[in-house]
Amino acid sequence: MDKKSQKKDDKPIISFPANVIDPIKNFLTGEKDKLEQKQKQLDKDDPFAHPDRVNDNAATDDEAAEQIGHAHNSALKNQLDRRLVQIRKALTRIKIGQYGICEKCGRMIDTDRLMLMPEATKCASCTKKEEEE
């Protein structure tokens, strides 16, 4: 990690070198693109998205299957949305030179955590505190 000469609150600003950040940025961009494609596919597959559904007088069992299909799609979309938000935040933090620094406490995020979750924008302790609230 490089220490830049700038100071913020008497602490050196630390950032990863470009040769480390570039592959992470490429990976996150690829993941973002894949998730956006999955979102579009889920939109197409959602039984409630079909315009004929309004005029459809389906049997009760068909209606139940549509309800379950819609609930499943909604749950998947919510997961994708949360992950996309995290990936976009991480890409923004790369862009502004803050990648790998916890957005809550300002300390470096453990590199093991970043290897498992390159989209992480908070350190493990801040994430744990947030989940306990």
Segment 58-82, tens digit of pLDDT: 566 666 767 777 788 888 889 999 9
Residue 100 Rama label (left phi>0; alpha psi -120 to 50; beta): left
Domain span including residue 72 = 15-101
**Strands, DSSP E only, in 9-127?**
11-15
Q: Is 124 inside a domain boundary? A: no
Q: Is 65 inside a domain boundary? A: yes
**Average confidence (pLDDT) over 44-52:** 70
**Average confidence (pLDDT) over 9-17:** 61
At 108-132, the pLDDT tens digits run: 999 899 999 999 999 999 999 989 8
Q: Is 110 inside a domain boundary? A: no
Burial degree of 120 (CB within 10 A; 0-12, 13-18, 19+): buried
Q: At what angle do helices 18-45 and 60-95 cross, to 10 degrees?
A: 160
Q: Is 24 inside a domain boundary? A: yes
Q: Is 62 inside a domain boundary? A: yes
Model pTM score: 0.70
| Number of domains composing the chain | 1
- List Cβ neighbours of 47 (8 Å cut-off, separation of 6 or more): 53, 65, 66, 69, 70, 73
- List Cβ neighbours of 9 (8 Å cut-off, separation of 6 or more): none
Q: Is 50 inside a domain boundary? A: yes
